[in-house]
Amino acid sequence: MTARVGVVTFPGTLDDRDTQRAVRAAGAEAVPLWHRDKDLHQVDAVVLPGGFSYGDYLRAGAISRFSPVMETVLEQARAGMPVLGICNGFQVLTETHLLPGAMLRNNHLHFLCRDQKLRVENAATAWTADYAPGQEISIPLKNIDGRYVADERTLDMLEAEGRVAFRYATAGPAADGYGNPNGSLRDIAGITNEAGNVVGLMPHPEHAVEPLIGTGRTDGLGFFTSILKKLVGA
Amino acid sequence: MARVVVDVMLKPEILDPQGQAVQRALPRLGFEGIADVRQGKRFELEVEGPVDEAALARIHEMAGTFLANTVIEDFTVRVDEAVRAES
C-alpha cells in the first residue's frame, strides 16, 4: 500500500496537475481534492499547489483560506497531518496563520520567473527529510507576491526554533540563480510550523522532478519522496 | 442604506514598493513636493438596517479577519455620515 497525497484545486489554481505528476513520480498516489468539498477522501497528506486562486483578489490566498476544503485541512494539519503549501499554497497557509508572517509584492514590483538556488536549512520536517542540512538545490521560482515579511520578534523566533526551512542561496552570481529574488526578510524562502508537519515555500519543487523537463534537474523530487518515506516508512 | 468605510493600510514598518513607484513617478509628471506615498485599500460597505454598535462590532470583526491581514495591515472603520444624511 502506498501513501495517498491530496492535491487541492481552487478556482485559479495552475499547478495542480504538475503537483499530481510529482506525487506520482515519487511513487505515491495523487488524489485530486476540490475546494468546495470538505471531504479529504482519506488522504495521508495534502499539497496546496501554486497559481492565482480567486485571482489573488483582496490578497493572495485570502479568499481560498475560507473555502470548505480548508476547514478540514486546517483541522487535520493541527492534528499532525503533513501539509505542503507551494507559492500560492504558501500564501494560503500564512493567511490561515498556520504559518506566521505574510507575503507581499516583490520589492522590484516585477513578476519573476527563473531557476532559483535555495539552501535547505531544516532537513527534519515531513517534507525535507530526504535532503541534507545545508544542501543547495535549484528549483523554479515564479511569482509577483513572493516577499516574505514578519515582525522582528517572529523572525527571531523562527530562527531560534530552526523553523526557517529554506533560504535563498546568495553565495553566487545572479545569472546562476543566486541571490534574494524579491526582498524577503532574512532571505527566507520557506518556513515550517513548530511540529514540522506544515511547510510552505515560494519556489516550485513540483516543476523539478523529471529530467526531461526544464533544467533537467530533479532537485524538487525530494519533497515528495520525503513525505512518502514518512508515511509508509519506505 | 448607510455606508461604512473600511480603510486598510500597510503597517508603517512594512515596505510599500508600489507606493514608492507612485512617488517616484510624480516629479516626472510635474507634481513636485511629495515626499512619500503609501498605497492602501478602501472598502465601501452598504449596510442593511441600522448602523448601531452591534453592527459596527460585526464590521470590525469582518475587517480584522478578512478585509485586512493584521500581520501586515492596519484598518479603520468609520460611518460615512454624508451617505447617512442623504438616506
Q: How far is CA A24 from the centre of its chain?
A: 17
Q: What domains can you pick out in chain B, each with its CATH number?
A: 2-14+40-86 (3.30.1280.10)
Separation CA A169–CA A148 (nearest Å): 15
A113 in catalytic set: no
Given its phi and psi angles, is residue A182 left (phi above 0), alpha (psi -120 to 50 degrees) or beta?
Answer: alpha
CB-defined contacts A:B, below 8 A: 35
Position A234 confidence tier, pLDDT thresholds 50, 70, 90 = low
| Nearest-neighbour CA in chain A from B43: distance (Å) | 10
CA dihedral A179, A181, A182, A184 (to 10 degrees): -40
pLDDT of A161-212, one tens digit each? 999 999 999 999 999 999 999 999 999 999 999 999 999 999 999 999 999 8
Given its phi and psi angles, is residue B34 left (phi above 0), alpha (psi -120 to 50 degrees) or beta?
Answer: beta
A41 in catalytic set: no
What residues in B contact A151, CB-CB < 8 Å? 13
Nearest to A109 among B17, B69, B71 (CB): B17
Separation CA A45–CA B3 (nearest Å): 44
Cross-chain residue pair A107–B14, CB shorter than 8 Å: no
Q: Is the pLDDT of residue B82 over 80?
A: no
Q: Which residues of B touch A (CB under 8 A)?
A: 10, 13-15, 17-18, 21, 66-67, 69, 71-72
Taking CA A18 as the corner, what is the angle to CA A12 and CA A24, rounded to the nearest 5 degrees? 135
pLDDT of A38-97, one tens digit each? 999 999 999 999 999 999 999 999 999 999 999 999 999 999 999 999 999 999 999 999
| A10, A70 contact by CB (below 8 A) | no
Element of type H or E holding B10: strand B2-10
SS (H, E, C) A108-133: CCCCEEEEEEEEECCCCCCCCCCCCC
CATH match of A4-232 with 2.20.28.120: no
A204 in catalytic set: yes
Position A215 confidence tier, pLDDT thresholds 50, 70, 90 = confident
Cross-chain residue pair B66–A108, CB shorter than 8 Å: no
Cross-chain residue pair A97–B14, CB shorter than 8 Å: no
Task: Indicate if the alpha-carbon torsion angle A215, A149, A102, B77 is positive or negative.
Answer: negative
Cross-chain residue pair B17–A95, CB shorter than 8 Å: no
Domain boundaries, chain A: 4-232
